[in-house]
Amino acid sequence: MMHIVVCAKHVPDPEAAFSMFKVDETAKRVVPASGLPFVMSPFDEQAVEAALRIREQGMDAKITIVTLGPESARNAIRHGLAMGADEGVLLCDAGWEEADAHMTAHALAAAIRKLGMCDLVLAGRQSADWDAGVVGAGVGELLGLPVVSFAQDIRVQGNAVRVERVVEDATEVVDAALPALVTVSNELGAARKPNLRETMRAARKPVKTWGAGDLDLDAQALSPRSRRERLHVPVKKVRCEFIAGSVTEQAMALARHLHAENLI
């Protein structure tokens, strides 16, 4: 049976209006309003979707969700299990509270090794909170896997994975030998919503919890390499001038403004 591991992150709902967030410049943290729901990061959710589609194409596959985060991140795993994944691993340790991309990639890679490796690792192209797009590639590098980024379609054919990937002004189709790591882009399409039956079943699916001590990680893998020097909301420099009047008047006034500023 094929084993697919999906790396997924639990993030404050990125679809919420940004007014629901406060930036604490002193602590250099983004603080979500109390009660704001946390969700599985949408690109990661699409990675789970990609794994489920591979299984539905007739591939006998076990799908494991691996998440690094606090105890509450277990909900991201539950969501993945309710979508149809089979097992979960929560990587939870006080030492990972401020984990950067380096530490996170090392932890995920070590967890995948502890699972006895797998045939395919999937991850979202970037997390919806820090938007960096580093951890997925890092896991691939640390495991010595080929990395294929920005997938909009993933099919497993024998011992290889065929990926349609999104690049500027082109779509590329590549074949990578398994095991491989593929990052998923939003072009893959919407992830399915968990149905009641799967949600009920999910409660009985196994979820392991591992701390840093359970994984083969050396001191450098447990030390951050990046430091956040500053965090702030950019100041908007413009003030919007609303143009009133009938549609024709609005259109002519705007055209005159733009013409006066040599923009048209």
- Judged by CB under 8 A, the chain residues 217 through 236 that form the site for other proteins are 224-234, 236
Interface with other proteins, residue 148, by CB under 8 A: yes
Give the binding range for other proteins (CB under 8 A) out of 13-21, 70-78, 81-89, 205-213: 13-21
Place of tokens 């990680």: 217
Instruction: Out of 9, 49, 150, 193, point to the residue binding other proteins (CB under 8 A).
Output: 150
Can the peptide bond before residue 179 be classed as cis, meaning omega within 30 degrees of 0? yes
First to last CA, the chain: 61
Interface with other proteins, residue 2, by CB under 8 A: no
Interface with other proteins, residue 240, by CB under 8 A: yes
Q: How far is the CB of 21 from other proteins (least distance, A)?
A: 7
Q: Which is nearer to other proteins, 2 or 176 (CB)?
A: 176
CB 218 within 8 A of CB 100: no
Interface with other proteins, residue 22, by CB under 8 A: no
* Closest by CA position to 5, among listed 91, 133, 111: 111
The structure tokens listed for 170 are 């082109």
Measured CA to CA, the distance from residue 24 to residue 244 in angstroms comes to 38
Q: Which is nearer to other proteins, 92 or 122 (CB)?
A: 122
- Judged by CB under 8 A, the chain residues 49 through 108 that form the site for other proteins are 101-102, 105
Q: How far is the CB of 168 from other proteins (least distance, A)?
A: 5
Which residues lie closer than 8 Å to 51 by C-beta, 6 or more apart?
4, 6, 61, 63, 85, 120, 122
CB 156 within 8 A of CB 165: no
Which residues lie closer than 8 Å to 246 by C-beta, 6 or more apart?
none
Q: Which is nearer to other proteins, 73 or 81 (CB)?
A: 73
Instruction: Out of 65, 89, 103, 147, point to the residue binding other proteins (CB under 8 A).
Output: 147
Measured CA to CA, the distance from residue 9 to residue 33 in angstroms comes to 19
Instruction: Out of 2, 14, 201, 222, point to the residue binding other proteins (CB under 8 A).
Output: 14
Q: How far is the CB of 100 from other proteins (least distance, A)?
A: 8
Give the binding range for other proteins (CB under 8 A) out of 65-73, 76-84, 89-97, 244-252: 244-252
Measured CA to CA, the distance from residue 214 to residue 15 in angstroms comes to 35
Q: Which is nearer to other proteins, 34 or 262 (CB)?
A: 262
- Judged by CB under 8 A, the chain residues 154 through 193 that form the site for other proteins are 162, 166-177, 180, 185-187, 189-190
Place of tokens 């993030």: 11
Instruction: Out of 126, 154, 156, 210, point to the residue binding other proteins (CB under 8 A).
Output: 126
Residue 148 identity = V
Give the binding range for other proteins (CB under 8 A) out of 68-76, 79-87, 121-129, 207-215: 121-129
Residue 12 identity = P
Q: How far is the CB of 47 from other proteins (least distance, A)?
A: 14
Residue 244 identity = A
